Amino acid sequence: MESTIRQEVYGRIVFAKYLQKSAESACSNKNDRMEFTKGILLLHDAVEQMLGAVADHLHVKLKGKNIYLLEYFDLIEQHDPEKRKLSYRIQMRNLNSIRRSAKHEGIFPNIKTSSHFPGTVFALLEEACKTYFDIELQTVSLKSLIRNDKVRKYIDEAEQLIDKGDYEKALISLAFAMFYICESSTMTSPLRRLILGKKDAAEIEFTQPYKTEYKLELVEHGIDPYLYYRFCNLTPRIARHTETNDLYHWWNKYYGHPANWTKQNALFCLNFCIETALNYQRDVNEGYSLVSYMEIYEDVIEPKRETAIIYNSSKYPSKYIPHGKTLQRKPIFELKKGQSIVGIAMDDEERLDEWSIASDDLSSKSNKYGIGYVAKGEVFVERRPRGTLRE
């Protein structure tokens, strides 16, 4: 039997694992019959892809005809030089029957009596990988499906370090990957810090993965919080310098020690990190799209009267200024009639009558990020496509 796995065959193995993971997620919802049924259909597709990969690996001649799931069992056994028997034929016949009833007759499966299928399909895929390709299903990487280049880079590094047996550094790389997947959202951006008036922040800011709202975000993306916090136990925390934006890592000594820097833990974190990355990009195929204002628009700000005064800070006290300290509010820019500045004007629920403006036109030595505040009654704000040439 051919020992080298051809690229197109490995691609089918990856796709089979991806379908199995998606099916497992769908079937985990025991209160939604439609979602569970979708999972059953995906499990069937995952098995077809894996058995199709095995048949392709064995150079089975399919003659361009459609092959049904159960036919693969006979074809593979007939063309396998070692005449090995595939397990789970009866279980796959039952899965095929349930899938056919759901797809062609609209009969939803009984969730209680069908809940074992995700585990059965996983076992079949695991056995097929080991028997015909001499690889572990756990090592089949879905990283090629990750669209974020930075995340993929750190996962590549981690895989290489695991192969070399350097598990500590692999876990560090995976911590940085998770930062770019989702944990960066738990930190205050430099622009947001200035808009909110958070001027006395610590020099180093750590990610905050234990916030309640962040836990809800994990659940929204189909991430198991329990497993996520085990990932956090096994990897270092990431911190960012509030001035330079340089990133650092810090090990909590309680779990961050050599006894936990093992291959088993590194592989767990690797696979969990890849799965999380894929879950966070799932919205592409969910029937909606979200685009932030700043990605495609910018604002043109003009005075309503002869002048509009822009200040260095909000007229509302900031909850981020430590008790006993005050920030002197003073004018930093006089916008005159006939003039305009281009940037982003934002408000929030605590400042409904005031714009915070971020604009290069306001930047100076003392105002590095170009942040200013102006009453809404003083200016017109007009939206336009980002990058429009000034008239």
Per-residue pLDDT reduced to its tens digit, 82-116: 889 889 999 999 999 999 999 999 999 999 999 99
**Is residue 14 included in any domain, yes or no?**
yes
Length of the chain in residues, anyone?
391
117 and 165 share a domain? no
User: What pLDDT is attached to residue 324?
Assistant: 45
- Whole-model pTM: value is 0.60
User: What pLDDT is attached to residue 211?
Assistant: 86
191 and 178 share a domain? yes
195 and 134 share a domain? no
User: Do 332 and 311 contact (CB within 8 A), yes or no?
Assistant: yes
With a cut of 70, list the residues of the chain below it in pLDDT. Answer: 1-3, 63-65, 189-202, 282-286, 318-327, 389-391
355 and 232 share a domain? no
**Is residue 391 included in any domain, yes or no?**
no
Task: Report which of 229, 222, 223 is spatially closest to residue 207, judged by C-alpha positions.
Answer: 229
Residues 271-295 have pLDDT tens digits of: 899 989 988 886 555 677 778 898 8
97 and 163 share a domain? no
Q: How many structural domains compose the chain?
A: 3
268 and 309 share a domain? no
User: What pLDDT is attached to residue 203?
Assistant: 79
38 and 80 share a domain? yes
Domain boundary among 84, 110, 139: 139
CA distance 277 to 254: 27
Domain that holds residue 194: 143-285
User: Do 72 and 92 contact (CB within 8 A), yes or no?
Assistant: no
**Is residue 2 included in any domain, yes or no?**
no
**Is residue 1 included in any domain, yes or no?**
no
112 and 133 share a domain? yes
- Helix or strand holding residue 343 (H, E): strand 341-348
171 and 258 share a domain? yes
Domain boundary among 247, 268, 285: 285
User: What pLDDT is attached to residue 41?
Assistant: 95
User: What pLDDT is attached to residue 323?
Assistant: 46
**Is residue 269 included in any domain, yes or no?**
yes
Q: Which long-range contacts (CB under 8 A, 24 or more apart) does 87-90 make?
A: 87/123, 87/124, 87/127, 88/120, 88/123, 88/124, 88/127
- Say which CATH number the domain at 304 has: 2.30.30
**Is residue 273 included in any domain, yes or no?**
yes
76 and 119 share a domain? yes
User: What pLDDT is attached to residue 191?
Assistant: 56
74 and 173 share a domain? no
Domain boundary among 240, 256, 285: 285
200 and 246 share a domain? yes
Q: pLDDT averaged over the chain?
A: 87
User: What pLDDT is attached to residue 29?
Assistant: 81
For residue 373, give the 3-state DSSP assignment. Answer: strand
For residue 130, give the 3-state DSSP assignment. Answer: helix
Write the single-letter amino acid at 298.
E
